[in-house]
Amino acid sequence: MFIDVAKIHIKAGNGGNGAVSFHREKYVAAGGPDGGDGGKGGNVIFVADSSLSTLADFRYKRKYNAPNGENGGTKRCSGKKGEDLILKVPYGTVVKEEQSGAILADISSDKPVIIAKGGNGGWGNTHFATATRQIPRFAKEGTPGQEFDLILELKLLADVGLIGFPNVGKSTLLSVISEAKPKIANYHFTTLSPVLGVVKIEEGSSFVAADIPGLIEGASSGLGLGHEFLRHVDRCRLLLHVIDISGSEGRDPKEDFDKINNELSTFSPELAKRPQIVVANKCDMVDDGKLEEYKQYFENKGYAFFPIIAPIVEGTEKLVKYVAKVLATLPPVKVYEPETIKPVSLSDINDRTFTISVIDGIYDVKAPWLLKIMNSVDPSDSESLGYFQRVLKESGIIDRLKEKGVQNGDTVVIYDVEFTFYD
């Protein structure tokens, strides 16, 4: 079954806790702290796999958790890092954060992409020894790993998209210009999922074409099958608009052409501007005068016009060579750039409970809801940091720190963020 959209939940591993431990050895008095650090939690990593063509693997399993890091040990031994969780997806999978709709990654190359980062391991008590604090009896907890609700959306990586009404000969055309073997029959919606084919031009030169199933009038609003597959036209650099020039099913080829373009425009105005070539199939069923009339009509509208008879490969070689020539002048296949997730607003969070503990002069703040905000804050951006400071004040954390006796110059720790307090 062809599945091109999936919703999943991922969570990276939590960091292991730092250890509180003191060196114990015969004949060694007051060996000092030797608690090890916790291990980092495992990341959730997406990798493209050429053997996959759909997102069907994500249809039944929706939750994916990476392993946690291990806690630190004695004798300065650090905990083991949690293993990364590798999720394999088809080439062309766009990963979006569900709530904001932000694009986190476009898995269109062989490069692995970390989507959720594992939490950092907590420090062992070794890190907290000072001249005035020689026996630190505390350590830092590991931080939670990032977690997201994701939408995975497959957008085929194809140079050329074959579009047009059902039963105009798109599948037949793809089968004769490439090695693809789409289902071919004389009825509507024979093709129920996009089919990719590699079209070879000459040694070392080729392009990828995709048969986009069953666009009809109203596809952009959910009619037919086209609404499910319009997203796959999105990356195509060039569109081959196949029409049945014979009108064998009682339709006007000119009207068909306009209706399909209207659906593309409704779905995405950008798609309507994509270069198109008109491919007039079944041209053996019209006389030369009628064929010339159609040729003039489409060329006057600015479209290249190629009459073909797909089943007997008439006119297809000329078409393929022209397509290759046009592709050489067009930009590469579109790749989506990652976007910044919209910062979480304090007003969107209902549970704002937090705890503050004071251990050997260090103020340790715990607030699970604050992690979502911290993950969306850019430390290098002054405006973003200013927002984070306002959150600390508006949530009551600053006031509670003062009640606990915090003074200017004291250390405040919020998970893996450590800063010096100044009012």
What's the CATH number where 369 sits? 3.30.300.350
Same domain? For 222 and 357 the reply is no
What local confidence, expressed as pLDDT, does residue 340 receive? 77
What local confidence, expressed as pLDDT, does residue 227 receive? 52
Asked if pLDDT for residue 273 goes beyond 90, the answer is: no
Asked if pLDDT for residue 225 goes beyond 50, the answer is: no
- Please report whether residue 202 resides in a domain: yes
- The model's pLDDT over 403-414, given as tens digits with 9 standing for 90+, comes to 999 999 888 888
**Residue of 347 and 191 predicted with greater confidence:** 347
How far apart (Å, rounded) are the C-alpha atoms in residues 177 and 179?
Answer: 7
Same domain? For 74 and 221 the reply is no
What local confidence, expressed as pLDDT, does residue 345 receive? 66
pLDDT band at 220, cuts 50/70/90? very low
Instruction: Report, as an integer, the average pLDDT of 79-100.
Output: 93
- Please report whether residue 375 resides in a domain: yes
Of 129, 149, 148, 150, the closest CA to residue 138 belongs to 129
pTM here?
Answer: 0.75
Same domain? For 21 and 87 the reply is yes
Number of domains forming the structure of the chain: 3
What local confidence, expressed as pLDDT, does residue 415 receive? 79
Same domain? For 232 and 315 the reply is yes
Instruction: Report, as an integer, the average pLDDT of 307-324.
Output: 92
- The model's pLDDT over 146-187, given as tens digits with 9 standing for 90+, comes to 999 999 998 888 899 898 888 888 888 988 898 766 554 444
- Please report whether residue 335 resides in a domain: no
Domain enclosing residue 396, as ranges? 344-423
Which residues in 203-241 are b (16+ Cβ under 10 Å) and which e? eeeebbbbbbbbbbbebbeeebbbbbbbbbbbbbbbbbb
pLDDT band at 45, cuts 50/70/90? very high
Domain boundary among 90, 125, 155: 155
What local confidence, expressed as pLDDT, does residue 214 receive? 56
Asked if pLDDT for residue 353 goes beyond 60, the answer is: yes
How far apart (Å, rounded) are the C-alpha atoms in residues 289 and 182?
Answer: 33
**Residue of 377 and 409 predicted with greater confidence:** 409
Least confident segment among 50-59, 179-188, 225-234, 272-281: 179-188
What local confidence, expressed as pLDDT, does residue 211 receive? 85
How far apart (Å, rounded) are the C-alpha atoms in residues 249 and 256?
Answer: 11
Percent of the chain topping pLDDT 90: 36
What region does 272 belong to: left with phi over 0, alpha with psi -120 to 50, or beta? Answer: alpha
What's the one-letter identity of residue 235?
A: R
> Alpha-carbon torsion 55, 57, 59, 62, what sign?
negative
- Please report whether residue 333 resides in a domain: no
Domain boundary among 127, 155, 183: 155
- The model's pLDDT over 197-218, given as tens digits with 9 standing for 90+, comes to 889 887 668 899 988 775 555 4
What local confidence, expressed as pLDDT, does residue 179 receive? 77
pLDDT band at 299, cuts 50/70/90? very high
Same domain? For 284 and 377 the reply is no
Mean pLDDT of the chain: 84
Same domain? For 11 and 58 the reply is yes
Same domain? For 317 and 396 the reply is no
Q: What angle do CA 374, 145, 58 make, to 5 degrees?
A: 115
What local confidence, expressed as pLDDT, does residue 334 receive? 86
